[in-house]
Copies of this chain bind each other. A is one copy, B any other.
Amino acid sequence: MAKIGDVARRAGVSTATVSRALSNPDSVRPETRKLVLDAVRELGYTPNAAARNLRAGRSRMLLTVVPLLSNSFFARIVSGIDQEASRRGYGTIISEESPDSVEKQAHLLDLAAAGLFDGVLLLSALMPRVGRRSLADMGMPLVRVCSRREPGAGAVLLEEREATLIQTRHLLGLGHRRFMYISGGAGNINDIPRYEGFCEAIAEAGLQPDQQIRVEGFFDFASGTAAAHRFLELRAEGRAPTAIVAVGDQMAIACMKGIQEAGLRIPEDVSIVGFDGIDFTNYCQPTLTTIVQPAEDMGAAAAGLLIDMLQGERDPGEIVFPATLRVAGSTGPAPAG
């Protein structure tokens, strides 16, 4: 592997000049520059990252912590991050969250302390932590995606409250008056504004938010199945809702399936809206009306914000994306009666 000294020798200049010619081309004479660049090309020279990082005190690497990679919503965010980071000369280290594995979190903190990455993108509200040490405490520049903003950190958010407001208004507009809300978990940070939006829409229509049914979910298929069971119980008792608001597509899709298996039709008997806009919403039966989050864009924006922060060009700010409703086959007029 060619080193800077080899290039210098070949170009007949000093290592200092090679370094300058590469990192700040305007600071050397055009002829010298050409000499250096030719030598670089001929030798296929690339500066050693470790040496450069050691000297510069930074790594041009970002860490992305993701709750669950197999959830395609998160995967799409990561995709956007990778794209933007790569475009701006940064690499992306990835780590799947593991709230239960102290070992893995410790490994992460070690990597941070070791200076392996310059900043962190957190795709959840959790904070990698071991004992009282956490990434934030270490002064690591941080951008959260799709969760709460915290002091000193950047954030990329969706208009969460607006989103459920739109979802619910859509159903109200179709004449629905009895609702089931499948949450993202009582403690979930995103669920707070989402539930607010839901309640606000309900109240607008002159209904009582606390008389609607709320079921706790965790964004996974199983939660949707469980919600379907609850729905069927309610139906047996003669007090089933006619519309379901789910704050995650996977929950919505599993719920649809559970309901259909009991012989009910969607949207004739029940309407349901999802949240996220994953690809499968277009390929389930019926297609799912859902809130579309521009996942790739949000990822790219987050990476861009973080890199700006690292380069001192931007203070940790907040970027908010609008929520849009994509109306599809799973919602229809409330059944008569």
Contact = CB atoms under 8 A, between A and B. Distances in A.
B91 A116 contact: yes
Given A91-B116, A92-B95, A285-B285, A54 B59 contact: no
Interface stretch (A42-50, A142-150, A316-324): A42-50
Interface string A103-130: 1100100110111100000000000000
- Taken together, the copies of this chain in the complex come to 2
A267 to B, nearest CB: 14
Contact of A257 (B82, B91, B283): B283
Contacts of A48: 54, 114-115
Residue picked from A48, A52, A221, A283, most chain B C-beta under 10 Å: A283
Nearest to A104: B86
A213 interface: no
Contacts of A94: 78, 82, 92-94
A96 interface: yes
A51 B279 CA distance: 44
B59 A70 contact: no
Judged by DSSP, the binding face of A is: helix
A246 to B, nearest CB: 13
Contact of A72 (B70, B96, B104, B285): B70
Nearest to A282: B221
B285 A49 contact: no
A161 to B, nearest CB: 27
Interface string A246-274: 00001001100100100000000000000
Contacts of A95: 82, 86, 91-92
A1 interface: yes
A99 B125 CA distance: 34
Nearest to A139: B1
Interface string A51-72: 1111000010100000001111
Contacts of A51: 50, 54
A71 B83 CA distance: 16
A206 interface: no
A282 B53 CA distance: 47
A44 B48 CA distance: 28
A134 interface: no
A89 interface: yes
A284 B285 contact: yes
Interface in A168-186: none
Contacts of A10: none
B91 A93 contact: yes
A76 interface: yes
Given A50-B50, A92-B94, 11 more contacts: A49-B53, A49-B59, A70-B72, A82-B95, A86-B107, A89-B107, A91-B111, A92-B93, A253-B283, A260-B285, A280-B280
